[in-house]
Amino acid sequence: MLSNQVLHRTVQSIQRIADLGCSLWDMRGICLAETSEKEKSLSGEVAGFLKICGGSPEEPGAEDVREERGLFLVRDDGEPVYVLAVRGEREKLALAGRFGTEQLESLLTAYRERMDKNRFMQNLLLDNILLVDVYNQAK
């Protein structure tokens, strides 16, 4: 999982670049980061979106774009973890939401790989790893 600081910075970047209101929700429907207090009013729509597509992780790109808001499912290794909500002009919604989703998924992958490196170094220093595994994991 990403830290709140990283999530907030990412949501602020999406808002600054696309000039759209933006918020990020977890899979329980709790708002984790938003660009304005107005974004929290989407809680009912996010809960409905989660009921529809949150339970089907095999669906590749779950999104719901309407007149002035878009909801996009963010996945980590195929598992849904966040819902990105974007509010503003319809022409920009789909593109900004898809870019934001890709950005968040890339961050999740990068942080997961970073933690793997930390765990490898810790095991190496504590001598909790076999010599054969050292060569394989070091690659």
The pLDDT tens digits for 74-122 are 998 888 999 999 998 888 899 999 999 999 999 998 887 776 777 788 8
Query: How many CB atoms are closer than 10 A to CB 115?
Result: 10
Q: What is the pTM of this model?
A: 0.77
28-85 per-position pLDDT tens digit: 989 999 998 888 888 889 988 988 875 554 555 588 898 889 999 999 888 899 999 9
CA dihedral 85, 87, 90, 94 (to 10 degrees): -30
Alpha carbons within 13 A on the beta-carbon side of 23: 23
Task: Give the distance from CA 134 to its chain's centroid.
Answer: 32
Query: How many CB atoms are closer than 10 A to CB 106?
Result: 10
Q: Are 45 and 56 in contact (CB under 8 A)?
A: no
- Helix crossing, 90-125 with 131-138: angle to 10°? 150
**Confidence grade of residue 127 (pLDDT, cut at 50, 70, 90):** confident
- Residue 64 dihedral angles phi and psi, to the nearest 5°: -140, 105
